[in-house]
Structure 1
Amino acid sequence: MLAGSLLTGVVYVLVGEGMYSSISMAVTTAVPAQRLDGPTAPWATTPWTTVPWATALPSGPPSAAPAGPLPSPGTGASPREALAITRTVSDAAEAAALDRLLTVSVAVLVCYAVLSVALAWWTAGRVLRPIAVITDTARRLSGENLHERIALDAPPGELKRLADTFDDMLGRMERLVSAQQRFAANAAHELRTPLAVQRAAAEIGLAGDPSPGRVARMRAKLIEVADGSERIIEGLLLLAASEQGLKERGTVAVDELARRAAAALAGEAAERDVTLDVRALPLDVEGDPVLLERLLHNLVANAVRHNVPHGRVEVRTGPGTGIEVTNTGPVVPPDTVALLFEPFRRLNERTHAPGEGAGLGLSIVDAIARAHGATATASAHPEEEGGGLTVRVAFRPHHGTARRTGGKSSAAGGV
């Protein structure tokens, strides 16, 4: 309405300024002044009622009537009188045209204003309806119904992309909340079991026969259970620290950490009759050396412990490889490989046997990798290839670099 009113005013002013000269030019062109001064003037031979000037005069309000008397029929007119007639006719035509222009413009403006208000109301409702749907869904969502989605049925556009992005965010939130709930439940279960064992050992194990040998066995059992609880708590704390990101960064020689982890577990590998082979090409990574050392230790330890007699473990590092640990072992179903990175996930149910882990190894590996901007993935081997897994930690190109010694890369031997 503002634009229409402004347009009407501008057109009225511009047309009004040039209309008088246009009408005067048109009149003088149609009836030259010299024709008004001779015996052949229109009103000299024609009755007044049929003179063209009378036809040209508008039947408007009195203000538009000629200001002076018109020539009488049958008489001549001087050029001055002809000029006065022309000016009078032009003024009357200008006033009538401007009045008509203003009336039509205002009428059209009112009609278009009503139409635009109705169209804008309908369009705004249609455009804003998806926003109302998104808002209502966001208000209704809670931890109990994160499975709901907006699923906006609309043509491609900004609001469609917004709704789809919101649905994707809800999916990530649902997975995160589900993982946190499973983590809390599993952590409570893992910590409750050792406490129950300790309570049973204290109440039943020492009841009736407090002999020194029985006390020694119960003492060893309690210490073993306490050690298991301590490992679980330490793993949970490390997992939480890894999820918070890195507090300190420095250049870490990953290949040296791989050799150190393999050397620390070489004795256990020999006891389990597992061959441990390390081929570490130089690889420097910006990160936390303590967390990266734990990552490598967990990978090698899992590969050694979840293996078979006469099995093998291969550890590889390098700029194009990152970290890669391959082991033989039980066949892992492909659909369960991705679940192994969740806390307290195991291939088999826990038996609480001596040396059994808490199921936090690969979840800690995944958290440390993400803290360093890397990606941890796993792939299962078929039975004909000896079973087991290959776990890879791929660093970003600007994170992992190779060291040069004498212009050539140095390689590490096997363990």
Structure 2
Amino acid sequence: MSSFYGGGPNTIRTAPVTLLLGPAGHPGGVIRLRNGTVGLRFTILYAGVFLISGIGLLALTFLLAGGGRSTAPAGLRPPADGGTDAIYQQVRHLQEQLAEVNAQHSRQLLIGSLLALTVMAVVSVLAGRALARRVLRPLRVITAATRRISADNLDQRLGVSGPADEVKDLADTIDGLLERLEASFAAQRRFVANASHELRTPLATMRASVDVAVAKPGAAPQTLALGDRLRTQLDRVDQLLDGFLMLARAQHGTLAGAAEVDVARLVAQAVSDRGAGIAARRLSVTEDLRPGMLIRGDTALLARMVENVIDNAVAHNEEDGWIQVETFREDAEVRLVVQTGGHVLDQRDVDRLARPFERLGADRTGSENGSGLGLSIVAAIAAAHGGRLELLARPEGGLRVSIALPYVPVPAEVRP
């Protein structure tokens, strides 16, 4: 059975299957067994078994019917006297007629056998297909149920009932795997959330100690400089912990207080709040924000998602650069697209930016100042709302960030 599913040599030596499939490794075969689906393999093997049985039965019937051989009478000699010559001629004629009838019957039997064999071949394929579908139906049910389970609903189980056979063992194994995955995901989320919360207390104590040391009268210049450096590092750690909390919340999959949110308003607010940073880097911002781009979700998470995208465009940009922001509807989705100029980037490196702590290093200005969680948080929030994040390296240089989220139609009574 291992050769049936695996990549080893085919040890099932049936003439019809070999005839249908061709020799092992021979490219001229009609259908190669090891390259087809499991359903096709079962169909061919079942059809082969039925076809062998039919060929054997027809061959046995043909042999028992005489094998198509008609023998002329032998050993009959003409009589010595001429009185019985007429009787001899009559017997001879009857024997020839009988031989002709036997030959005709053999031809009819051969034609009938060929027709029956053709019908048997068609019936064998149909019966093999039906049996294959019947045998594989439990596997199709398991596959469909497994596909419906994602990281957000790992608490679901297949729960296959029935006799303790191979299919039941497979389903129970998958249920055990899902249980271990659920425990692992929950432990990871609890650790991130708890560690972030627990680290805030010592950080607050360190910040207070730095403030007290700097605020003392007559503090040495070295103390003031050290205090400024420590504040900067503490701000970075605090930003990192805040990113951890937001990432854990987005990946949890539960959206508390979901409401209808206009993406265009979130973008306009985020750009306005970062006006000082945009002016400091002398960036030109072009906005094409179409109103009514409604989505449904957690307002705080969606605002953080938009802020991270705008922050990424401002921080990882060149002096005197540009930013283009637009919102529009595409089919049943709302699109937020943010484009920036800059150096030509490698798409393989850009694809990694949605992972935590991934940066482009020296290829992007300001990469050393970020936490490496900005776009990973964006991807997690978009996924939690049924959307997706797409990153594209622009051929002429720079980055194109696109977020697609499910569109919520505006009710007719509130349309302008």
> Larger Rg: 1 or 2?
1
Q: TM-score, normalised by structure 2?
A: 0.46
Q: TM-score, normalised by structure 1?
A: 0.46
